[in-house]
Amino acid sequence: MYIHHVFWLCSQKFVNSLPSSLKSDYNHRDTVAPFRTKEIILGKLLGSGEFSHVYEISEFRPVDDIELDETSSTIRSLGLVDAEIAVRKLMKKRERSRHTNKASYALKHLRPVLLEKYDVEKYIQAATDLAMEAEFLNSLSDPNIIKLRGISFAGPGGFSHGPKGYFIILDRLHETLADRIKRWKKQKNGPFLIGNVRELGRKATELGRKALTATMLGSETSSVSGSLTRSNSATSVVLEDQLDVGLQLASALAYLHEKNIIFRDLKPANVGFDVRGDVKLFDFGLATFMSEDGDPYEDEYEMSGAGSPRYMAPEVLVNPPKPYNMKVDVYSFGIVLWEILSLQRPYAHVRSQDELVDYVAIQGGRPAINDEWKEPVKKTLASSFSADSTARPTIKCCYDFLRKQLIEHRDGDASQLSDSYIKRRRSMASMQLELSLHVHNYQQQMKKEKTLGHKVSAAMTAVNSVAKMNTIRNTLRLSTKKEEE
């Protein structure tokens, strides 16, 4: 009862502390589906943080073995409103991707060991953070921030059944930025490595088959593969993806900062990619509000230290932490952007936290900026690393800067970078990367195939997927152009 009451109080405090910019969003929140523990069959463990485990949801099992049906009196008697019933039904229907058969949702709960290992105060803190995370996620609405889809039936009251009694359900992500950085490194340094051409061929569309005929007659598709065999193509394609990911991340942070929210724990392990390849910021356990009075970028507040040391601004790295503001996120963003561009771990040589504090906060050490990078890149990174938080740019400046870089990289093509397009688009850069991989795989496959029949089938498969990608890309280009006119 005690724990339950604590969460109720926190929740009230949360609503009262919402900046006015968020209160209207809060009142029009998406419906979150309540589920009971026994209605959910968990699959494999997807990952763990310091305080929580995240599992994939392999199946939803309707209450009392009765179908999730609006007319069911059993469900009504549980006190669900119509909208909740509808969302539960939809989630049941979408529990697996129709295309990949992979689980669509993930469940996050506290690590049970917390209760045994930590004192009550610390357990309550971890539990409060998770409940607050749900409140944050449900109050926010941005394409680059993960969505809250479901919650334990009793709400935070579920904690009265133990650490696993309260859980949140999120969209399942497929890769973290930490994984993506490793993949970029491989793609840049080694030969392209990818999935099975035949598997892709199986999914290829009729449209692709038509394009094959066109290609055999000498259409533009073959020139795509031609240009990609150039030695710098991998680097160029990866760079486009790197800039695009940086831009989407800046966009998510700009949204938060506009709402007076500091994320406080930005690092590659807290950034993921959804099924479409779009960037999703997750893990809001440490997010907090700045007061609305005054300037959130200029004023500084006393707050508890938070975040992961490697990505923490010097003012919060020291013990005790100095007053700080939104600019701590800009510093972390700078370090993450440096990691995205350099594909190296920041402060890799540092062996302990004490050493890190000494190196970063006392000696003013920072990641080495590559001399070959463009001047504006060097300048933006250097200023975001500044020990003086007022010298750091705002996150909106970082966003504008990255957008400009990406347009330049695309030879002035800004068609997919209007703000409204960014908000909805499928990640084009990831698609282009995929495209180049197909072509390379095709070339490898062709070398391997012995008989003419197999060679033709490998060619069909590869061209199909290339054509499909091109079609999607052109359709998107056209629709954006129309909208901008």
Ligand X SMILES: Nc1ncnc2c1ncn2[C@@H]1O[C@H](COP(=O)(O)OP(=O)(O)O)[C@@H](O)[C@H]1O
Which residues contact ligand X (rule: CB under 6 A)? 46-52, 54, 106, 108, 170-173, 176, 269-270, 282-283, 285
> Could you tell me the smallest distance in angstroms from the CB atom of residue 299 to ligand X?
28
> Could you tell me the smallest distance in angstroms from the CB atom of residue 52 to ligand X?
4
Which CB atom, from 283 or from 300, has the smaller least distance to Mg ion? 283
Report how far apart, in Å, the C-alpha atoms of 132 and of each of 14, 42, 182, 302, 481 are. Answer: 8, 23, 32, 20, 41
152 binds, among ligand X, Mg ion, none (CB under 5 to 8 A by kind): none
Residue type, 228: L
> Could you tell me the smallest distance in angstroms from the CB atom of residue 2 to ligand X?
24
Q: Specify whether the backbone of 386 is left (phi greater than 0), alpha (psi in -120 to 50) or beta.
A: beta
327 binds, among Mg ion, ligand X, none (CB under 5 to 8 A by kind): none
Which CB atom, from 89 or from 172, has the smaller least distance to Mg ion? 172
> Could you tell me the smallest distance in angstroms from the CB atom of residue 47 to ligand X?
2
Q: Are 458 and 441 in contact (CB under 8 A)?
A: no
138 binds, among Mg ion, ligand X, none (CB under 5 to 8 A by kind): none
Structure tokens, 423: 């908000």
Q: Which of 208, 143, 199 is nearest to 171 (CA)?
A: 143
Compute how many other C-beta atoms are within 10 angstroms of the C-beta atom of residue 259: 19
Parallel, antiparallel, or unpaired for β 288-289 and 261-262? antiparallel
7 binds, among Mg ion, ligand X, none (CB under 5 to 8 A by kind): none
> Could you tell me the smallest distance in angstroms from the CB atom of residue 102 to Mg ion?
22
> Could you tell me the smallest distance in angstroms from the CB atom of residue 396 to ligand X?
26
Helix axis angle, 206-216 to 221-228, nearest 10°: 80
350 binds, among Mg ion, ligand X, none (CB under 5 to 8 A by kind): none
Q: How far apart are CA 276 and CA 470, in angstroms?
A: 16
Which CB atom, from 25 or from 56, has the smaller least distance to ligand X? 56
DSSP 13-69: HHHHH--HHHHHHHHTPPP-EEE-GGGEEEEEEEEE-SSEEEEEEEEE--GGG----
Which CB atom, from 172 or from 392, has the smaller least distance to ligand X? 172
- Report which residue's Cβ sits closest to Mg ion: 49
Q: Are 318 and 364 in contact (CB under 8 A)?
A: no
173 binds, among ligand X, Mg ion, none (CB under 5 to 8 A by kind): ligand X
> Could you tell me the smallest distance in angstroms from the CB atom of residue 150 to ligand X?
12
Q: Which of 292, 281, 318 is nearest to 133 (CA)?
A: 281
> Could you tell me the smallest distance in angstroms from the CB atom of residue 42 to Mg ion?
19
Q: Which of 397, 141, 414, 358 is nearest to 259 (CA)?
A: 141
Compute how many other C-beta atoms are within 10 angstroms of the C-beta atom of residue 31: 16
Q: Are 59 and 95 in contact (CB under 8 A)?
A: yes
Which CB atom, from 310 or from 440, has the smaller least distance to Mg ion? 310
Compute how many other C-beta atoms are within 10 angstroms of the C-beta atom of residue 448: 9
- Report which residue's Cβ sits closest to ligand X: 49
Name the site residues for Mg ion (rule: CB under 5 A): 49, 270, 283
377 binds, among ligand X, Mg ion, none (CB under 5 to 8 A by kind): none
Which CB atom, from 270 or from 389, has the smaller least distance to Mg ion? 270
Which CB atom, from 269 or from 318, has the smaller least distance to ligand X? 269
46 binds, among Mg ion, ligand X, none (CB under 5 to 8 A by kind): ligand X
Which CB atom, from 137 or from 316, has the smaller least distance to ligand X? 137
